[in-house]
Amino acid sequence: MRLEGKSAIVTGAGSGIGKATACRFAAEGATVICAELNRDSNEATVAEIRAAGGRAEAVETDVTRDEDVANLMARSFSAVERVDILINNAGQAVIGTVEEVSSDDWDRQLDVNLKSIYRLSKAIWPHFKTRGGGIILNTASIAGLTGIPGQVSYGVSKAGAVMITKCMALDGAKDNIRVNCVCPGWIPTPMVDYHLSQLDDPEAFQTRIERLHPLGLGEAAHIAAGFVFLASDEARWITGIALPIDGGLTCGIAAD
Ligand SMILES: NC(=O)c1ccc[n+]([C@@H]2O[C@H](COP(=O)([O-])OP(=O)(O)OC[C@H]3O[C@@H](n4cnc5c(N)ncnc54)[C@H](O)[C@@H]3O)[C@@H](O)[C@H]2O)c1
């Protein structure tokens, strides 16, 4: 087991990539604090981890609320002696062009996907400094590396996630705080299902998306595997990277 004796906070642990990551971290021996807006789905993840013999706690958390983040930290430190890893994964996708996205939706998108990374990282930073280091991992996106039509606020939030990763990596290095992010390609999750449900011809869109990934569509487990590596001691000299896990999508233009 690669994370035996470690503890990790995972946000958005009730669904998709966050759930897969929480379950994989527990299977690798970590104690996982599952932080999620949706109480029922969060408790379901914790129940699944415990049923498999792992260790996990559920803390209902809205990552856009300072008081929830303070409560998450307090509950985490009462559950485990020290937190080794913070995974900022919770997110949502606001679809639309600059003409279509409302001012409120823009603010909400940036708050959930980007300011939350600042908020949680700031909350855990003093703990990491005191105990001689720590690891912050963020879920960015290929949408933060390259423009995607009709995703202006989402793309900006994810480009911000890439840049806050690099800036925090530089600032944290002297205190042995490593910060990295992953940039997933298209992964079938409830977020994506919702996106597809809004389209006139979801099947045509799905086919087009599949063709963009030379290795075919990915799974949440592929992203969880990247997080395990970045959280492990094998990645101890890696900081500030934005790791595409995208089946080759960002290599270039796929034939066909
Ligand atoms: N699925 C993809 O194709 C894809 C690609 C690139 C990046 N991502 C990113 O991966 C992350 C996870 O997305 P997913 O695809 O697993 O979606 P998902 O909808 O399955 O999971 C997102 C989870 O975040 C939670 N959440 C949303 N707002 C929250 C808040 N304010 N506080 C706490 N929890 C909140 C949701 O309740 C949900 O459980 C997101 O940051 C997303 O942008 C997804």
Q: Which mutation among 60, 189, 223, 246 tests ligand 1's pocket best, with the greatest number of atoms within 8 A of CB? A: 189
In a domain, 252, yes or no: no
β-pairing, 177-184 vs 134-139, is: parallel
Q: Are 86 and 35 in contact (CB under 8 A)?
A: no
Q: What average pLDDT score do residues 87-112 get? A: 98
Q: How many domains does the chain have?
A: 1
Q: Domain of 60?
A: 7-189+219-245
Taking 80 as the threshold, does the pLDDT of residue 255 lie above it?
no
Q: What average pLDDT score do residues 50-65 get? A: 98
Distance 207 CA to ligand 1 centre (A): 22
Tracing tokens 């994506």 back to the chain, one arrives at 192
Q: Are 239 and 179 in contact (CB under 8 A)?
A: yes
CATH of the domain at 117: 3.40.50.720
In a domain, 199, yes or no: no
In a domain, 198, yes or no: no
In a domain, 1, yes or no: no
| Residue ranges lining ligand 1, Cβ < 6 Å | 11-12, 14-18, 36-38, 41, 61-64, 89-93, 112-113, 139, 141, 184, 186-187, 189-192
In a domain, 138, yes or no: yes
What residues does 242 pair with on adjacent strands? Answer: 181
In a domain, 209, yes or no: no
pTM (whole model) above 0.95: yes
Query: Backbone phi, then psi, for 159, in 5-degree steps?
Result: -65, -40
In a domain, 2, yes or no: no
**pLDDT tens sequence across 100-146:** 999 999 999 999 999 999 999 999 999 999 999 999 999 999 999 99
Task: State how far the Cα of 211 lies from the Cα of 51, in Å rounded to an integer.
Answer: 38
In a domain, 196, yes or no: no
Determine the pLDDT at residue 253. Answer: 78
